[in-house]
Amino acid sequence: MSVNEWNDKKSININRTSRISVLREGGQANLQSSDEPINIQKASQSEGFVNIVARVLSTKPDVIVKRDGSGELHVVRGRLADDTGSIGMLSWSEFDYEPGTLLKIEGASIRRFRDTPEVNIGDTTRVEVFHDNSFASMEDLASTTSSTISGLRNGMRDVEITLQVESWYQRTFTSNDGSEKVVRSGDVMDPTGRCRLTAWCDFDPKPGDFIHLKEARVQSWQGSPDLVIDDLAQATNLESPTWEKIDPGDHWVDVGLTELVSGGTRRGIRTTGTVVLVTGDSGIIERCPVKLPDRERKCRKRLRDGSCIDHGPQRGEEDLRIRMVLDNGVSNVSLLLSKEPAEKFLGMTQAEVAEKISKDGQESFLTSVREQSLGMSVSVNGLALIDDQGAMLLADSVQGDGLTASQAADMIIEKWEVVM
């Protein structure tokens, strides 16, 4: 086989000489490579069985309740590291090695929990104490366990991270068994971005506080990887700030479009590109007004021919949104402007847009938006949602640099006195 790269997309080419074997669905991918141990960074990207040499950073007994109700399984969770990084571990067999022990592990399997790889140790895995005086010490490996917001991925466990609290609130709700429960959550930041933190314990930091979390887990909420703690012991309020206080009103981390689309979902980013497409469904749309029973929230799905996919024919509520494609010459991303950023970008209120469309028609409206924005270089602040389907930017705001492509070209010509 060969792998080709074209426009930042990789394709696998199966040649005449490639041998193709069909793997049965749900079966174990059998990619047994050489017996040489591989490093943790490589193991994290592997599927199937691997051999590694790693130091035990932490272990903790845990119990998994079988889904069929037939009982409990005693397992050991933990974390392994070498100088390329660290990885979670789940042992289904006895595992009584102290943190600090260097191990050679043969025939462990890499499985993914959501987006996060984990080393699984089972009955057929061989684990033995290994001796190598040049292997990184516990102190050297301590830094491999601390994370930053930009590195968070859905399904991560054992996350150690320092954060600045932006906001904090608590909400009381009635759980399924009828009892009152409190959930606390807020927005948190570090120099690489921002995300949400949820605490299922009575943790009450104040906005502006610096906090340190241990053994936090990452759970995806609407596509964004967010932090969760379950126990007050996982959180510490820090006495002194870890970095110069970030101003939450203007905390946008610049990320190039290509880096953005090849990474994970991130909040609080700023990226730039050129508008290359405005889709025909931009403008006034109708949303489903049905109130959802479980939450204080409306359905808000877009009506097609006056009908919601879940709730049938409805009298829709008008909303404004603009869909574009942003491109930097290498990568592109779908860009969505909801009402508020769309109004600012267009310089028109939703009512003015509705009036223009009813007076001149949808096509005329689209033509004016395209004349205003195609070829324009813009900077977008917002949330980047990245999944298998592709990349989408939800804009908080979009600022044009005020120049169309031809104006920008004119400026360059003028500046450099280029004669065309």
Q: Which residues bind Zn ion (CB under 5 A)?
A: 288, 290, 299, 301, 308, 310-311
CB of 342 to Zn ion, least distance (A): 22
Query: Residue 88: which of 220, 218, 229 has the closest Cα?
Result: 218
In degrees to the nearest 10, what's the CA dihedral of 144, 151, 47, 10?
-130
Neighbouring CB atoms inside 10 A of 233's CB total 10
The burial of 369, by beta-carbon neighbours within 10 Å (0-12 exposed, 13-18 middle, 19 or more buried), is given as buried
Measured from the CB atom, the residue of 157 and 301 that comes closer to Zn ion is 301
Query: Residue 326: which of 364, 277, 286, 361 has the closest Cα?
Result: 277
Mapped to the 3 state alphabet, what secondary structure does 309-338 carry? CCCEECCCEEEEEEEEEEECCCCEEEEEEC
Measured from the CB atom, the residue of 312 and 361 that comes closer to Zn ion is 312
Neighbouring CB atoms inside 10 A of 159's CB total 22
CB of 281 to Zn ion, least distance (A): 18
Residue 48 CA from chain centroid, whole number: 24
Query: Residue 147: which of 88, 98, 222 has the closest Cα?
Result: 88
CB of 354 to Zn ion, least distance (A): 21
CB of 299 to Zn ion, least distance (A): 3
Query: Residue 183: which of 170, 195, 196 has the closest Cα?
Result: 170
DSSP string for residues in 187-242: EEEETTEEEEEEESS-----TT-EEEEEEEEEEEETTEEEEEE-SGGGEEE-SS-S
Q: What tokens were used for 132?
A: 């190598």
Measured from the CB atom, the residue of 300 and 323 that comes closer to Zn ion is 300
In degrees to the nearest 10, what's the CA dihedral of 135, 137, 140, 143?
100
CB of 325 to Zn ion, least distance (A): 27
CB of 264 to Zn ion, least distance (A): 30
Measured from the CB atom, the residue of 312 and 390 that comes closer to Zn ion is 312
Measured from the CB atom, the residue of 76 and 288 that comes closer to Zn ion is 288
Measured from the CB atom, the residue of 299 and 374 that comes closer to Zn ion is 299
What's the rounded Cα separation, in Å, for the pair 167 and 196? 10
Task: Please tell me the number of Cα atoms within 13 Å of 392 on its side-chain side.
Answer: 13
CB of 319 to Zn ion, least distance (A): 13
Q: Are 150 and 263 in contact (CB under 8 A)?
A: yes
Measured from the CB atom, the residue of 290 and 409 that comes closer to Zn ion is 290
Measured from the CB atom, the residue of 258 and 338 that comes closer to Zn ion is 338
CB of 292 to Zn ion, least distance (A): 8
CB of 298 to Zn ion, least distance (A): 8
End-to-end CA distance of the chain: 47
CB of 301 to Zn ion, least distance (A): 5
Measured from the CB atom, the residue of 283 and 316 that comes closer to Zn ion is 316
Side chain identity, residue 331: S
Measured from the CB atom, the residue of 29 and 309 that comes closer to Zn ion is 309
What's the rounded Cα separation, in Å, for the pair 391 and 306? 29
User: Tokens 């405005």 sit at which residue?
Assistant: 278
